[in-house]
Amino acid sequence: MNSSVISDKKIATNTLVSDLRQLTKVGLSLSVVFSSIAGYLLAVESIHIPTLFLLGLGGFFMVGASNAFNQVIEKDTDAIMIRTKNRPLPTGRMSVNFAMSIAVLFTILGLAILYSINPKTALFGAISIFLYTSVYTPLKSVTPLTVFVGAIPGAIPFMLGWVAATNQFGIEAGMLFMIQFFWQFPHFWAIGWLQYEEYKKVGFTMLPMNVKDKNAVKQIIFYTIIMILVSIVPVLRVSGDFYIHPISAIIVGLFGLVMLYYGVKLHKSEQNSDARKLMLASVVYITIVQVIYVIDKFLQ
C-alpha cells in the first residue's frame, strides 16, 4: 500500500479520535468518574473492584452521552462562539447523524452498565442525562435559572457512587448531593463571568439576572458561603454514616475560604483575571474536598 495512503488513513483516524474526545468531553467525563468513585469509596467497608470498574465505565458513558447530545443541540450556537467554533459539529468534520449515534450508543451502554450495579444507580443516571439535555440545555437561552437546573445533574455523580455501593438513597447520599450542588454556583457563575460576552452573542443567560456586575458576584459569594457550611456539616454527625473528623472539617473550611477570598477579590475588581482564579480555585476545591473525605473515612 502506498505510504501516502497509509499516512492519510492515520491522519483521518487521529482526527476522528480527537473529534470523539471533543464530542464527549473526555476530561470532564473523567472528572465526573472521579466524583462517582469518591462517593463509592465513602460508602463501602471493602472495595469491590468489579463494581468500581462498572461505576467508572458507566459514569463515563453517561456523561459522554450528555455532552454529545448537548453539542448536537447547540451546533449552531457553537459555530458562533470562539471557544466552541472548532468543535467537530460546527466545523462539519462530523455529521449530526454520527454524533447522535454516538450519543444514543453511550446512553444505552451507560445505563445498561449502571443497571448491572443496581436499578437505582441507573435511574439516577437516566435522570442526569434527561435533565442535562432536555431541560438545562434548552433553558440556557431562556432564563438565568438554567444554572439551578444544571446544578442537579452536575451534583448527581458524587451521590451516585454512594447509591452504587449501597443501593440506597438516604441522608448520606443526599448530603453528598448537596455538597456538589452548592459548589456548582460559584464554579459556573465564574465561567459565566468569563464567557459573558460570548454567551451574550448567542443569547445564553448564564449569570444571575444575566448582568455582569457586583450583584452577580454577591450571589457568587453567598453561594460560596453556603457551600462551605454544607461541606463541613458532616462533622456534626447529622448525616448518618457519612461524617468527618474536626481536623478534616477545618482543612475543608480553609480550602473553602480560598474560594471565598477570590470571590471577594472579584467583587472588588470585577476583572476577568480574578474570575479565572475563582474558577480554578473551585476546581481544586471540589477535587481536594473529595480526596479529604475519602482519606478521613479510611482513617476512622
| pLDDT single digits (tens) 224-271 | 999 999 999 999 999 999 999 999 999 999 999 999 999 999 999 999
Q: How far, in Å, CA of 300 to CA of 296, rounded?
A: 6
Cell numbers linked to 141: 437561552
* 215-220: long-range contacts, CB 8 A cutoff, minimum separation 24: 216/189, 217/193, 217/263, 217/266, 217/267, 217/270, 218/267, 219/185, 219/189, 220/185, 220/186, 220/189, 220/190, 220/263, 220/266, 220/278
Q: What is the pLDDT of residue 229?
A: 98
Give the pLDDT score at 13: 74
Backbone angles phi, psi at 209, to 5 degrees: 60, 5
Predicted confidence (pLDDT) at residue 289 exceeds the cutoff of 60: yes
pLDDT at 292: 97
pLDDT band for position 131 (cuts 50, 70, 90): very high
Kindly report the number of other CB atoms within 10 A of residue 76's CB atom: 10
**pLDDT per residue as tens digits for the range 180-197:** 999 999 999 999 999 999
Are 128 and 134 in contact by the 8 Å Cβ rule? The answer is no
Beta carbons of 129 and 105 less than 8 angstroms apart: no
- What's the half-sphere exposure (Cβ side, CA atoms, 13 Å) at 167? 6
Instruction: Please tell me the class of the 8-169 domain.
Output: mainly alpha
User: What pLDDT is attached to residue 278?
Assistant: 98
Would you say residue 217 has pLDDT above 80? yes
Q: List, for residues 34-72, the tens digit of each pLDDT value.
A: 999 999 999 998 999 999 999 999 999 999 999 999 999
Give mean pLDDT, residues 3-19.
69
Query: What confidence score (pLDDT) does residue 226 get?
Result: 98
> Is the backbone of residue 264 left (phi > 0), alpha (psi -120 to 50) or beta?
alpha
- pTM here is 0.92
How far is residue 185 from each of residues 70, 193, 249, measured CA to CA in Å?
20, 12, 21
**Is 227 exposed, middle or buried (CB count within 10 Å of its CB: 0-12, 13-18, 19+)?**
buried
